[in-house]
Amino acid sequence: MYAIVDIETTGGYAENHRVTEVAIYHHDGLSVTDRFHTLINPGRRVPYFITGLTGITTEMVMQAPAFEEVAEEIYDWLKDRVFVAHNAHFDYSFLKKEFDDVGINWTTKKLCTVRLGRKIVPGLDSYSLGRLAESLGIAISDRHRAGGDAEATAKIFDLLLKRDTEGVIVKALKRNSGETILPPNLPKEEFDRLPAKAGVYYFYDGHGNVIYVGKAINIKKRIAGHFSGDAREWNRSNIRNEIHHIQYELTGNELIALILESQEIRKRWPKYNLAQKYRSEEWGIFDYEDRNGYLRLVINQVGRNTKPLISFSTKGDAWNFLSEKVRESDLCPKLSGLQTAKDPCYAHQSGTCKGACDQKETPKKYNKRVQKSIDSFFETGETVAIIGKGRRVNEKSLVLIEKGAYLGYGFFSSDEVIRDFESAKNYITTSKENRVVQNLVNSYLIDPRGAEIVEF
């Protein structure tokens, strides 16, 4: 028993938009048995571009019932039936969100007529509703309205059922098939071949353009998480519809995956990597002089126009680095931003702080020690190698840092021994340093996360 569904909405993704129209066709596996249709009042104005596409105006939906008023009725039309739609994730995500908002727990098996069409009617240039319907000789009477599109989808599904001589639909409904979570244009075979290993992955559109670059410790698990909607931003349908192919590059471990991801984003500028295009989170250590003349240190997020003394990819790494410097130079934890008590710091009470927080140590004497500590931030620029897991069992990875600056990465056989810096350079491909990569390296030098640090 199937419920064939089409909806219209105020926008492209469920998190920020609402349903304006619902149409449902019941199908018993042989033919359509019943149908349902209603406009929905979304509680907001219908955008003009949506009106231009669908013909649905704000005035049309003002007198329609709100979703909560018809939620039980719509639920009755859907319950105990396989959910069928053209690009099923889009329609399902909206209805799921609407049901969640009114306290109705609704989950069901799903079938996508885009994915089914690709397998049962292969070879078409496009599997949009209009093109697929045209190829099957189906006329759409009311395009971009829920009633007309649902009717066309029902006719398409009816023909797909009849042409499915190899059991594609039955296979798609199996619990572990993965078909119901995948983007409509992505071949399942490509998803099935993804490795459960660390690396960088690339999403391509239908024209061969990279539209997203990501990294993962487990590539297959990470990508499955994107597609199942666990990550909120992936509920936005645009990227799902554009993904036609996936490629990947193994890195062996998280550090090299992070480095390669950052480099590839800046090399390719994929349209959906907006976060790293315009802003990457980094935390820095800053200095300033307070009104009593004491040189202070503080950890803060790095802004567009701020210049930290040194920066890291996480607040925790910056905190650990500064804590070590405070300990090494006998600095005051309170004047270094590590304690917020109004009274003198706890270290002063225990005797490890010399009393700058209580003005018992002069600014001149204290500041000299602070400046020496700041200078040591860059004296930590050792020439070292970070040795980690390779892409294969008999391989290791190598990240080289020369005088504190990232130099490049590479791989070498586990049977070989890195004896000196010059020989180590033979295994790497040098690359242009950028702030994000340097912050990653700084963070790993503070916390190697199981990697080996070799000093030269």
Amino acid at 132: L
**DSSP character for 451?**
P
Q: What is the largest CA-CA distance in the chain?
A: 90
**Contact indicator for 312, 284 with CB cutoff of 8 Å:** yes
The DSSP annotation for 383-395 comes to: -EEEEEE-SSTTE
What was the pLDDT predicted at 278?
Answer: 46
C-alpha torsion 26→28→31→35, nearest 10: -10
pLDDT in tens, the chain (456 residues): 999 999 999 988 788 899 999 999 999 999 999 999 999 999 999 998 899 989 999 999 999 999 999 999 999 999 999 999 998 988 998 999 999 999 999 999 999 999 999 999 998 888 999 999 999 999 888 888 999 999 999 999 999 999 999 999 998 888 666 677 788 899 988 999 999 999 999 999 999 999 999 999 999 999 988 887 544 555 455 788 899 999 999 999 999 999 999 899 888 889 888 755 545 568 889 999 999 999 999 999 888 778 888 888 888 888 988 998 998 898 999 999 998 777 788 887 777 788 888 888 999 999 999 999 988 886 556 788 999 999 999 999 999 988 888 899 999 999 988 888 888 999 999 887 677 788 888 888 888 888 888 888
Residues 6+ apart with CB under 8 A from 135: 121, 124
Q: Which helix (H) or strand (E) holds 95?
A: helix 88-101
Q: Which helix (H) or strand (E) holds 215?
A: strand 210-216
Q: In what order do the strands lie in the sheet with 310-312?
A: 295-301, 283-289, 310-312
Q: Is 77 helix (H, G, I), strand (E, B) or coil?
A: helix
Residues 6+ apart with CB under 8 A from 315: 283, 299, 301
Residues 6+ apart with CB under 8 A from 433: 405, 406, 407
All domains of the chain, ordered by start, with CATH?
2-172 (3.30.420.10), 188-278 (3.40.1440.10), 283-377 (no CATH), 384-455 (no CATH)
Residues 6+ apart with CB under 8 A from 195: 219, 220, 248, 250
**Contact indicator for 419, 440 with CB cutoff of 8 Å:** no
For 315, the token pair is 């607040």
Question: Which of 269, 153, 276, 140 is closest to 202 using CA atoms?
Answer: 269
Our CA angle for 294, 300, 306, nearest 5°, is 90
Positive or negative CA dihedral for 222, 223, 226, 229? Answer: negative
What was the pLDDT predicted at 439?
Answer: 81
* Residue 268: burial class (beta carbons within 10 Å; 0-12, 13-18, 19+): middle
* Residue 37: burial class (beta carbons within 10 Å; 0-12, 13-18, 19+): middle
Q: Over the stretch 234-246, which tens digit does the pLDDT of each residue have?
A: 545 578 889 999 9
Positive or negative CA dihedral for 359, 364, 365, 370? Answer: positive
55 sits in the region (left: phi over 0; alpha: psi -120 to 50; else beta) called left
What was the pLDDT predicted at 253?
Answer: 95
CA distances from 122 to 110, 115, 193 (A): 21, 10, 21
What was the pLDDT predicted at 177?
Answer: 65
Taking the C-alpha atoms of residue 300 and residue 240, their distance in angstroms, rounded to an integer, is 36
Residue count of the chain? 456
Other beta carbons within 10 angstroms of residue 412's beta carbon come to: 19
